[in-house]
Structure 1
Amino acid sequence: MDAETRRGGETARAASSPLIQDFGLLIKVAMRLEQRLDSVLRRECGITHTMFEVLIRLCRQPDEEVSQRVLAGDLTLTSSGVTRLIDRMEEAALVRRVPSPEDRRSVLVEATDHGAAVFLRAAEIHGQVVERYFVAPLAPADHERLTGSLSEILGALRDG
């Protein structure tokens, strides 16, 4: 057997590794669920899933001051990416930028009344999609085990 044939067999075995397959399945499920959520939120509410994530952050504690830098970190976006996103959301009257009372160089972002109303509708729709595609396909005990396991994995990633 020549080296090229041997390498082909090794690469095929590596690509078929259960670890690679399992992780690929996790990523595929997460991406498809994200795409489904984004599609439904665009159609029903006129916002993207990322905009919904911003509104979650802003509506979770309405009196909390949230800077674009904090939003960028929470959403794992670049500074310029979050600026463009907030620009689009401001144009749609979902959020507004306000000067920080503590630092004149800093700008805070808050949801508008319209943004809060859109968020409430989007949260209802989001819940329906998550229920249908993330909760309903599993037995309750399996769903509980899955979310518990995902929390453990997230904890390990934070610690390591």
Structure 2
Amino acid sequence: MNDTSRHHDDAAARAAGSPLVRDFGLLIRSATRLERRIDSALRRECGMSHTMLEVLIRLCRRPGEEVSQRQLADDLTLTSSGTTRLIDRMEEAGLVRRVPSPGDRRVALVEPTAEGRTAFLGAAAVHARVVEEYFVQPLTADDYARLTGALGRIDRALREAD
């Protein structure tokens, strides 16, 4: 190994082990592990994925609001085709239905069915239990308030940069 290669290897090792890389990795790993726990509990106990719950949250948040598939795709950061497949599966399961938009027949609106609202309530309770156990309980009340405050500031900074 020549001096240039050794220098690049040392520099790469320092960069890979930097506190910024380590801390951001901790955030991503924690969020990913929590999401997997939520998804696993929802699939086991409710027969739905975490992404399906996210759709139902969006649809149930403001009853009577017209929500298009395009809005769902944007809100959930899914591709258009991914959203179509997801809504297809949810429609087959009886959780949602597509209805034509009164203002534009080319636009499909998505709304929860009565069965979907009932399933949402059960899934929301499972979600809350897992989040409480792994996101809230490990922290003191002060640490939780600081964490959520900091995450809110990060989110605002990212939205303002868009």
Q: Which position in structure 2 is the counterpart of 1:150?
A: 151
Letter in 1 for 2:37: R
CA RMSD of aligned residues (A): 0.7
Corresponding residue number in structure 1 for 2:42: 41
Q: Which residue of 2 aligns with 1:15?
A: 16
Residue aligned with 1:66, SS: coil
* Structure 1 residue 6: Cα displacement: 1.1
Aligned residue number for residue 76 of structure 1: 77
Give the number of aligned pairs. Answer: 160
TM-score by length of 1: 0.99
Q: Structure 2 CA distance, aligned partners of 1:141 and 1:2?
A: 50
Q: CA deviation at 1:5?
A: 1.0
Shift of 1:97: 0.3
Report the Cα offset of residue 72 of structure 1.
Answer: 0.1
Q: CA shift at 1:100, angstroms?
A: 0.6
Distance 1:57 1:110 in 2: 10
Given the alignment of the two structures, is residue 90 of structure 1 paired with residue 86 of structure 2, yes or no?
A: no
Distance 1:35 1:5 in 2: 39
The corresponding residue for 1:31 is 32
CA shift, 1:2, in A, is 1.0
Q: Gaps spanning 5+ residues in structure 1: where?
A: none
> Percent same amino acid at aligned positions?
65
Q: Deviations over 1:43-93 (max 9, x none)?
A: 000000000000000001120000000000000001000000000000000
Cα distance in 2 for partners of 1:159, 1:89 equals 33
- Look up the SS of the partner of 2:102 in the other structure: coil
The aligned counterpart of 2:123 is 122
Where does residue 66 of structure 2 map in the other structure? 65
Distance 2:81 2:8 in 1: 43
Structure 1 runs of 4+ with >3 Å offset: none
Q: TM-score, normalising length from structure 2?
A: 0.97
> Is 1:111 matched up with 2:126?
no
